[in-house]
Amino acid sequence: MAEVTRPKTFRELLDSLNELPKGRRITAYVSTIGFFVFPAGIGIAYALTFFWFLSSFHSNYAVMSNLSQRAVRRIDYWYLGAGTIGLFLFAVQYSTQRDTTLSRVYVKVHQAGEAPLRAEVDQQFAYLTGFLCDAVAKRAKAPCAAIKRLAPELKPSMTPEEIATFQERFSKEVTLAYGRLFTIEQLNTIPHLFSSFSVLEIRMEDWHKHMENAPRFQAKPRDEDTELLFGLGQWFVWPFLFAYALGLRITKVTIDVFEWAK
């Protein structure tokens, strides 16, 4: 079996190129030039890394004299090995990103569902504030002062526990203060006195039930070394391994199609 030899000097390289068939010689010239042209910038590096590897492999095998079939078959080990490692790194990173992304999507969807419930609570709370600070305030100012005191605590994305605490305080500080304005007889004979409060209570209960079903998302803590490892795997390692494997595989196809090996 003939031994694969490589040119040692630039002159020997040119002589070996001139001895090649025309098509193979043109491929060697073009791919050698492409080997040295590598634009900077991470944004375009991923796309152009493939062409860089493709040029370098074509240049390397095009200038080989006495390229044997055995040497060509070894290419399978290199591109399959690189592709397997790249796929493994991608799968590890993808599984982590997938769980994180899906958790964030669930949170966003739930937050979107909270908005109309919160709007109904705010609307009823504003109506009740106007009622207590207008008509009722003429008789007593305590209910108006109490509801204004609680207003800043009504915020979006409150937890079920916070909503329950707010409801309890509202009942003690606002509803009770309003109820003291009426006699027992009035409370028993005029049921619509608390209709506005009942509507707010229903709205708050709907909001409370919705927040009880809220998905929990908490990013898993990682130390600095682990974070660096995942970053390298995601941005630098596996994309270049795939580019390496694909460029090598296409070069092998070129070798087989144009019969460079002897």
User: 135 vs 131, 139, 140, 144, CA distance in Å?
Assistant: 6, 8, 9, 10
Q: How many CB atoms lie within 10 A of CB 53?
A: 23
Instruction: Decide: 27 and 220 in contact? Cβ < 8 Å.
Output: no
Question: Would the pLDDT of 136 be above 90?
Answer: no
Tell me: pLDDT of 4 over 90: no
pLDDT value at 1 more than 50: no
Domain ranges in the chain?
Answer: 10-94+239-258, 100-212
Q: Does 238 have pLDDT greater than 80?
A: no
How confident is residue 168, by pLDDT bands cut at 50, 70 and 90? very high
In the prediction, which pLDDT does 54 show? 87
Assign 203 a pLDDT band (cuts: 50, 70, 90).
very high
Measured distance CA(104)–CA(18) in Å, rounded = 60
Q: Are 181 and 137 in contact (CB under 8 A)?
A: no
pLDDT at 224: 47
pLDDT of residue 223: 47
Beta-carbon count within 10 A of 50 CB:
18
CA torsion angle 63 64 69 71 (round to 10): -120
Coil/strand/helix, residue 5: strand
**Average of per-residue pLDDT across 130-149:** 89
Is 123 a residue whose pLDDT tops 90?
yes
Question: 10-24, 151-165, 187-201 — which is least confidently predicted?
Answer: 10-24
Residue 182: pLDDT band by 50, 70, 90 thresholds? Answer: confident
State how far the Cα of 129 lies from the Cα of 143, in Å rounded to an integer.
9
Ranked by mean pLDDT, the top range of 28-37, 43-52, 95-104, 164-173 is 164-173
Selected residue with higher pLDDT from 7 and 114: 114
Averaged pLDDT score across all residues of the chain = 78
Q: What is the pTM of this model?
A: 0.49
**258 pLDDT above the threshold of 50:** yes
Q: Produce one character per residue of 87-112: b if its CB has 16 or more CB atoms within 10 Å, e if not.
A: eebbeebeeeeeeeeeeeeeeeebee
pLDDT exceeds 80 at position 244: yes
Candidate from 30-44, 127-141, 206-220 with smallest mean pLDDT: 30-44
Q: Label residue 2 by pLDDT band (50, 70, 90).
A: very low
Whether 227 and 37 have beta carbons less than 8 Å apart is answered as no
Distance of alpha carbon 176 from alpha carbon 3, whole angstroms: 99
